Structure 1
């Protein structure tokens, strides 16, 4: 996070905080911005799908797991901490949990 101090001649010194692109994007996701979720899907769906497909032989099953991954991401976006983890890693962890759940229950 970038910070810059400046002086307002009418008051005491203030701190101006500039947010990174990732922080702005995470905020949009947490605000349930549909355009941001579409961007998230477009950016990561094929990568996550490829990882899922490498674990399951059935294309339909892989598509279902991908869908569940992004549904879980939508419902749990407030658990995402952009400081600790990258979006791709977080999505990949969700996909792995979905895969494990299906393999364990299936």
Structure 2
């Protein structure tokens, strides 16, 4: 079984949030980026590498959250190449109820 970690972080709290997530990380877990957290995808990847986090099953973001970013930020971030998928609200709810996850953990520091 796997965990779906839901991160809702500012740039100031992303490192701490990532450290919290790594305490219970298991191979095959997934990450859902909420709010503006998707804007920090490159920093998140750097922090995950610092902690030798590997075998991430998926990294997702909400379409509504991505739409709140400026067009230039979205273009520079190339989110569609760094995320497994950008989800609608309904798809997010379905993902949280997927039987592959034995738990969903929200980290919002």
Q: Same fold (TM over 0.5)?
A: no
Larger radius of gyration: 1
Smaller-chain TM-score range? under 0.3
Larger relative strand fraction: 2
Larger relative helix fraction: 1
When normalised by structure 1's length, the TM-score is 0.23
When normalised by structure 2's length, the TM-score is 0.23
Instruction: Between the two structures, name the one with larger relative contact order (CA 8 Å, sep ≥ 6).
Output: 2
